[in-house]
């Protein structure tokens, strides 16, 4: 999560605010689950994102899944 904190600090200079945002994300939005059970939470989030793109931004969805045939996992995970 250091990447997320660094990204937040670029936009929110107050470190205490960033800390409380991270607490909110970890406990209220349950992003702690990203790090357990073989990253099933990441797969679920990517699936939700794929459905969102398919419904609300078809051009981006078609570009990502077009002739290259990429999956969301390939596009957004390292």
**pTM value > 0.95:** no
Q: What is the pLDDT of residues 57-71, one digit of tens each?
A: 998 888 888 766 777
Read off the pLDDT of each residue in 19-43 and give the average, rounded to a whole number: 81
Domain ranges for the chain, please list them.
Answer: 2-35, 37-76
**Tokens in use for 23?**
């607490």
Return the SS3 of 19: helix
Read off the pLDDT of each residue in 8-26 and give the average, rounded to a whole number: 87
Buried b (16+ CB within 10 A) or exposed e, 49-75: ebeebeeeeeeebeebbeeeeeebeee
CA distance 30 to 39: 13
Q: What percentage of the chain exceeds 90 in pLDDT?
A: 5
Integer angstrom CA distances of residue 65 from 7, 25, 54, 72, 75: 28, 29, 10, 8, 10
């Amino acid at each position: 999560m250091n990447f997320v904190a660094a990204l937040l600090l670029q936009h929110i200079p107050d470190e205490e605010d960033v800390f409380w945002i991270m607490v909110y994300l970890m406990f209220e939005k349950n992003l702690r689950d990203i790090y357990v059970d073989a990253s099933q939470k990441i797969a679920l989030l990517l699936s939700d994102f794929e459905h969102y793109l398919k419904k609300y931004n078809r051009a981006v969805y078609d570009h990502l899944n077009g002739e290259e045939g990429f999956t969301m996992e390939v596009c957004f995970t390292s």
